[in-house]
Structures are given as structure tokens and as C-alpha cells.
Copies of this chain bind each other. A is one copy, B any other.
């Protein structure tokens, strides 16, 4: 909560807004299947780790490959995904870095069918400021059903 103390060049509300908008845009890219733009929201060597995966996905090329495969699979099955991130708590760790701890839910809707919850998760991010905005340096997604 002591965001302003640690990042005096930016108000804490402004920082919180930036993270909320970043998350909105980032997940909308993924849900639209824009996987290269999605990967570009990670640092070049960004890490996507998840308790549902045996190994972390490391680097933009690997993130593109992984997200591209998932996107093609969902498209083939006619399912629209929606990633909701919420309950965001952030802590700065220097002027250009922060950690965020939030909840993420994945909703899925098949064409002509009912919307449902695919997974409820905890999302723990380390974000760094890039030239054009925030980037994910490290993300850990913990699915609630697997813990």
C-alpha cells in the first residue's frame, strides 16, 4: 500500500490505473488470438509459468508458439475465451518495477452454448516498465484445482 513512498515520480492511483489498463489490453489480445501482440506484452526473455504446465514457457518465441497452438485449438472447437483478472494488489519494487498479485478466471463460451468457468486461478506477476509501457517479466499462474 506504500506505493507513493516507493515510486515518488508517479502517483499510486496512476500506477494502479496503468496496471489495470495493461491487464485489460493484454488479455483482450490473447482472447482475440493476436498472439504476437500478446507475446510482445512480455519482456523478450519473459517467463510464463503455471502449475498446469510441466515446464515454464520462456521467451517471446516460445510464448507465441504456445499461445498460437491454444488459439488454433479453441478456434477449431468454436469456443470464445475471456480472461478476467481482478482483485489486483500491487507493490512497487523501485520506480520501474512492481509485483502484482491478482485473481484470474477463464470463461469459455462455445458457439450456441452456455458460458462456463474453465478455471479459477491465482496470478502472480513481476512487471517492468518498457519503452512503451509495462511488460511481464515473470508470470506464475496457479490453478485452484491443482493445488
Cβ of A81 to closest chain B Cβ, rounded Å: 9
Q: In the complex the two chains form, is A25's CB within 8 Å of B144's CB?
A: no
Residues of B within 8 A of A94 (CB): none
Closest chain-B Cβ to A50's Cβ sits at a distance in Å of 15
Contact B133 A20 (CB under 8 A): no
**A contact set with B: CB distance below 8 Å:** 1-5, 11-14, 16-18, 20-25, 27-28, 80, 82-90, 101-103, 105, 107, 109-120, 132-133, 144-147
User: Could you list 26 A-B pairs, sorted by A, with CB under 8 Å?
Assistant: A1-B3, A1-B12, A1-B25, A1-B132, A2-B4, A11-B13, A11-B14, A12-B17, A13-B14, A13-B17, A21-B88, A21-B90, A24-B86, A24-B89, A24-B101, A24-B102, A25-B89, A28-B101, A82-B120, A82-B144, A83-B87, A84-B103, A105-B107, A107-B120, A109-B119, A111-B146
Closest 3 CB pairs of A and B: A109-B144, A13-B17, A115-B120
Residues of B near A14 (CB, < 8 A) are 11-13
Distance in Å: Cβ of A80 to nearest Cβ of chain B = 4
A108 vs chain B, min Cβ distance (A): 8
Would B82 and A85 count as touching, CB distance under 8 A? no
Residues of chain B with a CB closer than 8 A to A111's CB? 145-147
